[in-house]
Structure 1
Amino acid sequence: MKRFGPSLYFASDKVIFDSISQRAVNVDIVRELLEERGIFVSSKTSKDELAKYFSRLTADYFDHKIIAGKLGRIAKKERFTAFDIDNLIERDQIVDAVKEMKKELDVRGDALNFDTSDPSKIIVEIAYDHIDYTKAELRQVQPRDAVIEFIKDASGKYSVRNTHNNYTDSVVEKICKFIGEASGIPVSRTTVNLQSHPEATKRTAFFEELIKGVTGHDLVTVTEAFCYKPPKGKIQDDDEDDDDERELEDSPLVERVGLRGRAVTKSLVIDGLFKTGYYIIKVIFHVKPKSSLDSDVFELEAQFSEPRDCTGFSYQTKRVLIFEEGKVTDKTRHPKAAEEAALAQLIEQAAKTAYKAVAGG
């Protein structure tokens, strides 16, 4: 049975104290909450003492909202996923489906806005609350943003790119359903997945092709590689000469292995993993644009969220390593929107090319 936490709508004195004690809530916020009640405190009073005092007071809805606003917001950057729509669909059909989705989300209290100013693209943005009952009360509501893009190619067909999580995926499914109902033909799609290629060598080869296939960029290094081996039942073997191998198989199985460092795909350790049936399901790698010798280096991530079947392909541009004085430094910056959009398209194309290479065309 799935475990749920306490009520979403009740915050006891202990909850208030525990929440204020979190690092995300600084002492200035606690002082402001007290000042609104006409209570002024010394700058020398510790945060712990202020938290104990404030938690004994009656906190209203607005107090909860201020504290939860500091605790609940998720700073984690989300990955993107994409697929191609095989049907020839009209732009108006997509817009109408998005409008239907907006009506449904308005009832839920989520805010959907869309932009059709670009004739080759429709951008949908959704502001919603993610609820997680396993968190502490004031962390249960987490404001999040979802992005869905319908992008038209030269042939007139559309591809869909969206933030990869259960909420956004369900919205995309519903929009596709509306399009299918309006056109009378279900939306057919092509995704990057290796479900029909269970061989460990092919699944690893997919990532090897992908990291080298980002057009206009050179591969610098692979900093992280995560390997997976599907669990199997106990192997029955009557050959006495294979006792050592049977003991290895009968021992507790390590399903996931993570390697970190530089050029980890060239490590002897990872070669040993491949020989025992492991395959790569996630990589973090650095690429550098070929157009300039002094350009910054981009850190990219690609993975399959369902490791057993290698489905749910997603990716992201994690950060940019700044190039200064002839070398890559430890300084980093966030990627610009234009950089992210361009790299998203290149990663998607690299994934398609890698899949074709693995699948034999």
Structure 2
Amino acid sequence: MKQSLAYANDRSVYNALNQNKITGRTIQELFIRKGIICSSDTDREELATYFSRLTHDFIDHKLIADSIGIIPRREKITSTEITDSNKTSLSYDNIKFKLKDLEKYLNENGCTAIYKPLAKEQELDITYTEIDYSKSDFQQMTTRHGKITINIEDNTAHIRSTQTKFINKIKEDLVSSIISLDEENLKRNVITLNDINDPNLRTKFILETIKNIQEYELEEITQVGIFKNNSLLEETESEDEREKIIANINDAHLKGNDVHLTSELRHLSDKGFYYVKVIATLKSIKTNLLYTVDIEFKDKENCDLFSYIVKHISEPKYDTATQTLSSYKFPRAPKMLEQIDFMDKLEESAKNALESL
């Protein structure tokens, strides 16, 4: 997990200081660290040329990287459940012991992990670094944050985690470690369609999930991601049909108003495409808040790695005379409780949809 970068050369420093993301104040701070005072009226390119020829240390590079680095987006959430048929193997202390062990391991291996005991759940907050060598020197390193939360209820451990490759691996190791407490009675459950090969049923799951979230009404589906797994269709195709195929599309993304009702999407569904992603707008029946949500299967071929996020929320505007709903305010980020309430009901809807297939 410990990662490092090659040392940025003079050209990289020069190019970085000429980017608009680097403010004049930042450039002055860099010079002051060298004991040099520069005027804000001095040409930026001249300053960049001079500074790039100086000796640079870690703090210089970090200051530049933090100024032009990539701002990580909010990640989707995924969930896993561990059920206890023995009703004695899962306890608050057992979970705490496993999370504290994981916290120690991560901190010893280049991450910053903080264990937090909350009112009804336990949380592990993780800060880690990802490196992308395809980007320029000062944009290769991105600091990211992830969370794993565990709540025990009705002899079931509900585990939610940030959906990224790194956090997924950490979560899977944690789940395996918890199950090792009692392998005969502890079972892992996830939302997956890996065993369902019918494209129509895979689409039905997505639609049933988004349409039947308790206390929320579906207003509109604005984007749909579809995928065609050719290996699922080979058994139904004749030799002549396979020989006629010259080119093939297996992945598409459609945008529009009520896109799921369009004839174009129906035509693609008839060709064996199924839903793997939906962005939709739902209205809370209680509050009239408008939720824009994104749900998808990251693993498109197998319909696995089910994840979701509340992208933003719009608050209602009411007519002052009639007190009726007139429009909506500019979207804002969801509050923690709003997101948790929605995710609880979304997960329940997904479980019901899966059971009905």
TM-score, scaled relative to structure 2: 0.87
Choose 227-236 or 334-343, whichever is displaced more: 227-236
* Counterparts of 1:185 and 1:68, CA distance in 2: 50
Structure 2 segments unaligned to the other structure (5+ residues) = 319-324
Structure 1 counterpart of 2:266? 271
Shift of 1:27: 3.3
Amino acid at match of 2:48: A
1:148-187 matched pairs, under 5 angstroms:
148-153=148-153, 155-183=154-182, 185=184, 187=186
SS at match of 2:315: strand
Which of residues 278, 282, 292 is equivalent to 1:283? 278
Which secondary structure does the structure 2 equivalent of 1:250 belong to?
Answer: coil
**Conservation of the 8 A alpha-carbon contact between 2:80 and 2:160:** yes
- How much has 1:147 moved relative to structure 2? 0.6
Do the aligned partners of 1:297 and 1:328 also contact (CA within 8 Å) in 2?
A: no
CA distance in 2, matches of 1:320, 1:277: 34
Q: Report which stretch shifted further, 7-16 or 296-305.
A: 7-16
3-state SS of 1:108 partner:
coil
Indicate the SS of the match to 2:339. Answer: helix
Q: Which residue of 1 aligns with 2:322?
A: none
Question: Structure 1: which amino acid aligns with 2:93?
Answer: D
Distance 1:52 1:269 in 2: 55
1:339 aligns with 2:341: no
| Equivalent position of 1:260 in the other structure | 255
State the alpha-carbon separation in 2 of the partners of residues 309 and 61 from structure 1.
44
CA distance in 2, matches of 1:225, 1:328: 25
Which of 47, 51, 64 is equivalent to 2:48? 51
Give percent identity, aligned residues only. 26
Aligned to 1:11, what secondary structure does the other structure show?
A: coil
Q: Partners in 2 of 1:11 and 1:128 — Cα distance?
A: 21
User: Aligned to 2:296, what secondary structure does the other structure show?
Assistant: strand
Partner of 1:250: 246
Matched, 1:20 2:13: no
Equivalent residues of 2:103, 2:115 under 8 A apart: no
The CA distance in 2 between the partners of 1:59 and 1:236, in whole Å, is: 66
Question: What is residue 295 of structure 2 aligned with on the other side?
Answer: 302
From 66, 71, 75, give the equivalent of 2:68: 71
Residue 182 (structure 1) shift:
4.1
Distance (Å, rounded) in 2 between the aligned partners of 1:187 and 1:112: 26
SS at match of 1:333: coil
TM-score by length of 1: 0.87
Segments of structure 1 that go 5 or more residues without pairing to the other structure are: 1-6
RMSD value, Cα:
2.4
The match for 1:146 is 146
CA separation of 1:321/1:58 partners in 2, compared to 1, >3 Å: closer, same or farther? same
Shift of 1:40: 4.0
- Shift of the alpha carbon at 1:145? 1.2
The equivalent of 1:4 in structure 2 is none
Aligned-partner Cα distance in 1 for 2:290–2:10: 49
Deviation at 1:128, TM superposition (A): 1.6
The 1:13/1:276 distance shift into structure 2, 3 A limit, reads: same
Shift of 1:349: 1.1
Shift of 1:250: 2.0
Aligned equivalents of 2:65, 2:329: Cα separation in 1? 34
Listed as ranges, the matches of 1:62-211 within 5 Å are 62-87=59-84, 88=87, 89-118=90-119, 120-153=120-153, 155-183=154-182, 185=184, 187-211=186-210
Query: How many aligned residue pairs are there?
Result: 341
Q: State the AA in 2 paired with 1:151.
A: N
Counterpart in the other structure of 1:3: none
